[in-house]
Amino acid sequence: MMNEKYVCTLSAELQKQAKDELNEDPDTREQDIEAIRTWLKKQPHINARMDDWSILRFLRGCKFSLERTKEKLDMFYTCKTAVPEWFSNRDPDEPKMKELLEMG
């Protein structure tokens, strides 16, 4: 799969918000994405998407903490491998899914 580099399309206001709230630095964003990609390539048990956009979503969700991003990626893909039914054909009205959602 060819990797398309992320091109920021956020407005100036949203860029400021991303910097203030998510610690997203336009000067180091590409380096952070590449650091996570390099780490993922060294994790044989993780079959992760390696495109910039997918990695960026995890980085933003972890406020650009590389260590938290690694932990979250590891947990996400480990769960996705161990319990694939949680990640496909999810029906929020199914009793088991309702129970999980109610648990938080």
Q: Is residue 2 situated within a structural domain?
A: no
According to the model, what pLDDT value does residue 51 have? 95
Check if the beta carbon of residue 97 is closer than 8 Å to that of residue 91.
yes
Q: Is residue 71 situated within a structural domain?
A: yes
Q: What CATH number does the domain containing 52 carry?
A: 1.10.8
Q: Is residue 97 situated within a structural domain?
A: yes
Q: What is the DSSP letter of 2?
A: P
According to the model, what pLDDT value does residue 21 have? 92
Number of domains making up the chain: 1
Q: What is the mean pLDDT of residues 88-97?
A: 77
pTM exceeding the 0.75 threshold for the entire prediction: yes
According to the model, what pLDDT value does residue 92 have? 76
Residue predicted with more confidence, 10 or 35:
35
Q: Is residue 7 situated within a structural domain?
A: no
Q: Is residue 5 situated within a structural domain?
A: no
Q: Is residue 4 situated within a structural domain?
A: no
Q: What is the mean pLDDT of residues 74-100?
A: 82
Structural domain of 96: 12-103
pLDDT band at 2 (very low <50, low <70, confident <90, very high): low
The DSSP string of 31-90 is HHHHHHHHHHHT-TT-----SHHHHHHHHHHTTT-HHHHHHHHHHHHHHHHH-GGGGSS-
pLDDT tens digits along 20-31: 999 999 999 999
CA atoms within 13 A on the CB side of 40: 25
